[in-house]
Amino acid sequence: MEAIQHVKLLIHGEWQSSSGTFAVKNPYDQTTLAHVADGTAADATAAVDAAAQAFGRWKKSAPEERRGILLAWADLIKDRKDALANLLCREQGKVLWQAEAEILHGASLVERAAEESVRIHGMTLARHDDQVRNFILKQAVGVVAAITPWNFPAASVLVKCASAIAAGCTVVLKPSEETPLLALELAALAMEANLPPGVLNVIPCLNPTAVGQVLTNDPRVSLLSFTGSSAVGKGLAASCAPTLKRLSLELGGNAPFLVFDDADIDAACDAAMGARFFNSGQICVGANRFLVHQSVEQAFVDGMVARAKKLVAGNGLEQGVGLGPLINDKAVSNLNRLVEDAVAQGAQLHLGGVGNGEGLCYQATILSQVTQNMAVAGDEVFGPVVCIYRFQSDEEAIAMANNTRAGLAGYVFTGNQKRLWSVAEELECGMVGANTSNIFAPELAFGGLKESGMGREGGLDCLSDYLILKNLSLGL
């Protein structure tokens, strides 16, 4: 196990202390991993200063230079995969194989951004005047403030920072107070890849309010990219309104998982295991509401119970563990509240329903006969709890699926191709898994509709949020 090396702020390429520190703990055993510099408003301002200064040069850098640095960064991430995954597991709690998968996926996102950096194309327009030629230029938006969550502390940092850097922007990163260590290690690898000083600055902090106010109020910050809850995203958007910053928001979900009467139940159950239990259910695109046709409900319940009871909750570093701990006490309490409310209102508990008392772990839980008037129907369930609802017709299923202000992801399982297409098109969400729960790929953009945010991350257009269009009319 490698010692944790980077616990300071990164400003203009230098590791700097702050006026205080805060403890970062392992969610499994609550041991302190490190004490990290606690960034202040003054530190955040210094980081914006550095990013604004560096932007003058970086926006003019050759795309080949940006590509080379980003590919070198991705190579370093892959080379240090084992150590980074170990740290991710200790800091966030994710099971080790899932941590390794996240590190490699994050590296692939950096590689995607690197390759797109040399494909930033403008446009020459058809002429309407012999004396004027019209062009459209694409240019970097400016300084980017990136605020990232704890549940995917590698992928979320890398997709935002790599895309911004590839477009020619500079970045001030505020990682989650729960998981700053991995962000600092990734930033150190970027420096090792010869990223110039000031292009990437990192300000961890325990209380994000003061740092957040700097990032939302400073007019030199041109874009705010945030991943987190819808409530916090709305607050940040309001704070950005006075300076009319561009926004890229990836917010909460309440994903439906529809199982029709002609679905392959075994395939649906297998897919549901990943859609619900990956990262112990702490995933924004996780299936929150399992909408199952009444004729196959019992078969689906039986299939899920048989699979879920094999999951062992415990230390993610230990072999055989399938569910790591939840992130903190508040997460456990919230999950208990939702499950207890559902059972009190008539939901049937088939499995689990309680934490196992060890390291904030929560047992895999299966509930059926869940109804839309229960609290669990409207809240984003961030934990290993399967909530099964019953429907009778296609129309009812689609209405139930869309009965939410969230619109991030959705899943549909059916043996009828016409129904598959029809339901996929009717679901009000940004991403749909049709007879699969595997909706992640570097070439696919990530984002949602309604109150699940605006903008897209990753994919073929991964740089679009970080570029502006400028018209150029050239008189002859």
Active-site residue numbers? 250
**Residue recorded with tokens 């409310």:** 341
Tally the C-alpha atoms within 13 A of residue 327's C-alpha that lie toward its C-beta: 21
Hey, which residues does 123 pair with through a beta bridge? 136
Hey, which residues does 455 pair with through a beta bridge? none
The whole-angstrom separation of Cα 379 and Cα 267 is 27
**88 token code pair:** 């991710």
Amino acid letter for position 75: D
Closest residue by Cα to residue 377 from 255, 227, 230:
255
Do 132 and 473 meet the contact criterion of CB atoms below 8 Å apart? Answer: yes
Do 457 and 434 meet the contact criterion of CB atoms below 8 Å apart? Answer: no
Alpha-helical (H) ranges within 93-204 are 96-116, 155-167, 180-192
The whole-angstrom separation of Cα 80 and Cα 69 is 17
Hey, which residues does 199 pair with through a beta bridge? none
Orientation angle between helical segments 63-79 and 180-192, nearest 10 degrees: 120
The whole-angstrom separation of Cα 252 and Cα 408 is 7
The whole-angstrom separation of Cα 155 and Cα 104 is 9
Burial of 366 (C-beta count, 10 Å sphere; 0-12/13-18/19+) = buried
The whole-angstrom separation of Cα 195 and Cα 176 is 23
Do 459 and 445 meet the contact criterion of CB atoms below 8 Å apart? Answer: yes
The whole-angstrom separation of Cα 307 and Cα 314 is 17
The whole-angstrom separation of Cα 397 and Cα 375 is 19
Do 255 and 437 meet the contact criterion of CB atoms below 8 Å apart? Answer: no
SS3 content of the chain, % helix, strand, coil (to 5): 40, 25, 35
Burial of 131 (C-beta count, 10 Å sphere; 0-12/13-18/19+) = exposed
Torsion of CA 322, 325, 327, 329, to 10 degrees: 150
**Which of helix, strand or coil describes residue 122?**
coil
